[in-house]
Amino acid sequence: MSRTLQAPVTVAFDYTRSTGPVVGRFLSGLRDGVVVGARTSTGQVVVPPLEFDPVTHEATTEFVEVSSVGTVTSWTWVPEPVKGQPFDRPFAFALVTLDGADVPFLHALDVSSPAEVTTGMRVRVRWAAERVGHINDIACFEPLAPGEAAATAPAASSSEPVTGVVTEVSLDYDYAASPEESLFYRGLNEGRIMGQRCPTCQKVYVPPRSACPSDGTPTAEEVELSQTGTITTFCIVNVPFLGQKITPPYVSAYVLLDGADIAVLHLILGVPADEVRMGMRVRAVWKPEEEWAYSLENIDHFAPTGEPDADYDTYKHHL
Amino acid sequence: MRDVAVVGFAQRQMPEFDGSPTCVELLVPVFKELYEQTGWTRKDVGFWCSGSSDYLAGRSFSFVQAVDAIGVIPPVNESHVEMDLAWAMYEAWLKIQTGEVDTALVYAFGKSSAGVLRRTLALQLEPYTMTPLWPDTVSLAGLQARAGIDAGAWDERAMAEVANRSLTDAEKNEHAIRKGGSSVEELLARPMYADPLRKHDCSPVTDGVAALVLAAGDKAREVRERPAWLTGISHSIDPMGMGVRDLTRAPSAQRAGAALDLGGVEVAELHAPFSHQELILRRELGLGDDVVINPSGGALASNPMFSGGGIRVGEAAQRVWSGEADKTLAHATSGPALQQNLVCTLAASTEGNQN
């Protein structure tokens, strides 16, 4: 058994950004098959255009169309491409100074080996077949043979100025739980609720943490907790939201398991929502064992035990 | 200005940490080590500041969880930067300068191995024209290395010399995860990886944590016979775009160094995650051949994300504590291709304190 539980996790989000007038002008140009730069106060033509002048800090206003043909000023080989790069096979990243521009611009260069690239070589933009106003409207740079001209971009589908861009970000991780979290989830997989006691303040944490948040002491002593507890506080959920698994109204409550010093958040069923109250005694109701996994969802919900309500003094320090 | 010294340093480094991205498990023993070094308890620490990023290992609010390692009853004075430990130290140094506190413990943690580090770092780039291409850290450094080779600013042999010296020095550093020099010829005979970079030109992906303790005036003198006084500290940043600066230079490193008195520096710990970047930094900081560079082995031997820069400060401070040097320099970098740079001097004497 490995020391900790591990699982693949993907965190993904589509970043939607407004472009503003300068980046918008550049991306509108790409959509139309034209590379647009801007002139700075020192007379340099910069691609992509800077939003503000690096010297005077004035907003950029003078746009300049440059060629889609240029010269490689530096390059690097990418032997093991990562997800989302312009190619999923080895390629080069290059800095290319386009004709009419004074500084280089970063993009991929489509070559099949480092032997096919040299600093100073001539390249041209290969336009993407479908262009929407995004940096990937340039598919890549490609070597330009002597006598060849710039590539012509197929007609664009729109002529509206580009004002926004969506960038998909997706990150894959091999996620590990801490040894203490692993204890907790392994316990759940066996139908047990495991916590740990702080050796300094004697508080019992569930789920257990790597150190007691009160005094920073690692919590070592394992404690199996009772399956019954007391509702310390609760709320009735009436509002639907994305990803909601239960139809409202339902009750979310903090349940202080007997013997624990930290309440766990869970669902209360088996009682009308308007009858749930602070001090109510509840018991864990587990899903059928064949559905168990390393998850708190193994406990389907908590339901009233029918015992008399707990005395307020027994949980007043845990609110 | 108040005299502030580095009086404590501890670190943990490994290729792959088999544990939670919050790294509490690693921070607890590091803090314990620092309490032993200083003779303090957590209640003697006036200010805490951490450096980390949730993107690194995909755990939200990991810096909030990491606070468990401190213990926060009664509550502590605490802050966070999504930057390297060296910048957390800068915030703590400022906090001490305000007079609000006399002591600080700054820490950083990161589990780079949980994801693909060189890819994750594309999220720190310009979001419209760079991030969507996912230019990885190694590629951006490769563009910089090639620019310098083409310009005649350095060559592959000079890069191999840096790697060979670093890996040789790392043999004496128990924390280094890559070590063992051979010869420049042998290194040059190894295959290219991201042409023009070989694997030994790139720092290894490293997990780990590190922490520094700062103290003002007599508080520092109570802890150590020879506190490492921060006699100068400065940081600066260059534009993000790869096209709008000369990649063979690091103007922000030059500017940060020029703000300090670097005369008499005997040892410099430079945070150069790629071999050619050490060559750039030596030039920008004007470090002569008489300055010992990276006796720890530097970032080519291990480079835990968010700790790698601050570890340079700790290593440079140790040389002052031990009496090995009277004045040392530490440097930290952040961003692509040496975009942002922090430089500080550490000295056995507070004389000439420029702060």
The pLDDT value recorded for residue B355 is 63
Which chain A residues are closer than 8 Å to B25 by Cβ?
Answer: 178-179, 210, 218
Q: How far is the alpha carbon of B87 from chain A, nearest alpha carbon, in Å? A: 24
CB atoms B134 and A85 under 8 Å? yes
Looking at chain A, list the stretches that DSSP marks H as alpha helix, in order from N- to C-terminal side.
20-31, 179-189
The pLDDT value recorded for residue A2 is 85
Check pLDDT > 90 for residue B215.
Answer: yes
Query: Which of B12, B14, B20, B137 to mutate to test binding with chain A, by most A CBs within 10 Å of its CB?
Result: B20
Average of per-residue pLDDT across A156-161: 83
What's the whole-number average pLDDT of chain B? 97
CB atoms B19 and A77 under 8 Å? no
The pLDDT value recorded for residue B171 is 97
- Whether the CB-CB separation of A107 and B130 falls below 8 Å is answered with no
Average of per-residue pLDDT across B191-203: 98
Check pLDDT > 90 for residue A246.
Answer: no
Q: How far is the alpha carbon of A269 from chain B, nearest alpha carbon, in Å? A: 30
Look at strands B340-347 and B327-334 and give their pairing.
Answer: antiparallel
Residue range A20-71, pLDDT digits in tens? 999 999 999 999 999 999 999 999 999 999 999 988 999 999 999 999 999 9
B20, B133, B195 ranked by CB distance to A135: nearest: B133
Handedness of CA A205, A208, A213, A216 (dihedral sign): positive
Query: Which of A106, A196, A201 to mutate to test binding with chain B, by most B CBs within 10 Å of its CB?
Result: A106
Q: Is the peptide bond before B273 cis (omega within 30 degrees of 0)?
A: no
Confidence label for B42 from pLDDT (cuts 50, 70 and 90): very high
Number of A/B CB contacts below 8 angstroms equals 187
- Closest-CA residue of chain B to A4: B19
Q: Which two tokens stand for residue A85?
A: 């790069």
The pLDDT value recorded for residue B354 is 64
B20, B42, B141 ranked by CB distance to A210: nearest: B20
Confidence label for A176 from pLDDT (cuts 50, 70 and 90): very high
- Kindly provide the ipTM of the predicted complex, given to two decimals: 0.95
Average of per-residue pLDDT across B223-252: 95
What is the residue-wise DSSP string for B103-162?
EEEEEEEEEGGGS-HHHHGGGGS-TTTTGGG---HHHHHHHHHHHHHHHTS--HHHHHHH
Looking at chain B, list the stretches that DSSP marks H as alpha helix, in order from N- to C-terminal side.
24-38, 62-66, 85-97, 117-120, 137-151, 156-169, 184-189, 217-223, 251-258, 275-284, 308-321
- Whether the CB-CB separation of A178 and A210 falls below 8 Å is answered with yes
Residue range A70-120, pLDDT digits in tens? 999 999 999 999 999 999 999 999 999 999 999 999 999 999 999 999 999
Q: How far is the alpha carbon of A173 from chain B, nearest alpha carbon, in Å? A: 5
The pLDDT value recorded for residue A26 is 98
Give the contacts of B200 (CB within 8 A, at least 6 positions apart): B160, B163, B167, B178, B187, B190, B275, B300
Please name each of the domains of chain B with its CATH number: 4-117+205-223 (3.40.47.10), 127-203+229-347 (3.40.47.10)
The pLDDT value recorded for residue A155 is 79
Residue range B106-140, pLDDT digits in tens? 999 999 999 999 999 999 999 999 999 999 999 99
Residue range B62-111, pLDDT digits in tens? 999 999 999 998 999 999 999 999 999 999 999 999 999 999 999 999 99
